[in-house]
Amino acid sequence: MTARIAVLASGGGSNLQAILDYFDALDDVSATTVALVASDRAASGAIDRARTRGIPAVSLDATQRTGGMVGILEGHGIELIALAGYLRFVPVEVTRQWRGRIVNVHPSLLPSFGGAGMYGLRVHQAVLAAGVRVSGATVHFVDEEYDRGPIIAQWPVPVTPSDTPGTLADRVLAVEHVLYPLALHAVAEGRVTLGDDGRVRGAPEPPAGCATYSLSATPTASSVHELFLNPNR
């Protein structure tokens, strides 16, 4: 199965870069292509990264951010859409037409710390203010509401006593860069799908070499300690 992906981004585009690097490293080069990068900001790092790679890059005007987005996506033959730090609401024309083929990454364990206005450092400020010990990253299908679509994958990230919003953001972002390409690849290949009942079928492969973080393994006292309580991590 192949997939032509559009990545929508507003900011620096580090998740876009992680996606590009991931698909570059795959043996099967024909399988999946980032065929379009679109941004609501002309001066975004994501647009720069796309142009450097020779990937078609579009700076979306007001019409293209709303109903006109469908025509752009269709014009580039887009089959799968990945939101990567895209801060605008995605028009319902798009979320309906690409239902089950549009995904987002969010820097918290949804449904906590998501929704309108929860983006960037605000997410991590809210996590720290709540005093939770674990945050994380979530990849989910996108529906008509911010950060509410069915969850595909999550990965925990410990919150340390000395964390600032910035240090926590960096730790979560590093996980996003691993988790998001894996989840996107699984959706692209049809290993993860969204059923008519709104439930997710299948799961992405866990990241390689993360035995301690294997959520399928039975936790032991030492693995829990290593994951969440080790003061020397």
Residues near ligand GRF (CB under 6 A) are 9, 11-15, 84-85, 105-107, 119, 173, 176
Secondary structure in 3-state letters for 118-170: CCCHHHHHHHHHHCCCEEEEEEEECCCCCCCCCEEEEEEEECCCCCCHHHHHH
Q: How far apart are CA 223 and CA 225, in angstroms?
A: 5
- CB of 231 vs ligand GRF, minimal distance in Å: 26
Considering the candidates 106, 124, 177, 185, report the single residue annotated as catalytic: 106
**Taking every pair of C-alpha atoms in the chain, what is the biggest distance, in angstroms?**
55
> Token match 């969204």: residue?
194
Question: Which lies closer to ligand GRF via its Cβ, residue 101 or residue 171?
Answer: 171
Identity of the amino acid at 83: L
The strand pair at 80-83 and 3-8 is best described as parallel
- CB of 214 vs ligand GRF, minimal distance in Å: 23
Q: Where are the alpha helices (DSSP H) in 29-82?
A: 45-53, 69-75
The number of beta carbons lying within 10 Å of the beta carbon of residue 82 is: 28
- CB of 119 vs ligand GRF, minimal distance in Å: 6
Identity of the amino acid at 225: H
Q: How far apart are CA 173 and CA 177, in angstroms?
A: 6
- CB of 49 vs ligand GRF, minimal distance in Å: 10
Query: Closest residue to ligand GRF, Cβ-based?
Result: 85
Question: Which lies closer to ligand GRF via its Cβ, residue 85 or residue 100?
Answer: 85
Catalytic status, residue 225: no
- CB of 149 vs ligand GRF, minimal distance in Å: 14
Query: For 205, left (φ over 0), alpha (ψ -120 to 50), or beta?
Result: beta
Q: How far apart are CA 173 and CA 137, in angstroms?
A: 8
Q: Which residues are catalytic?
A: 106
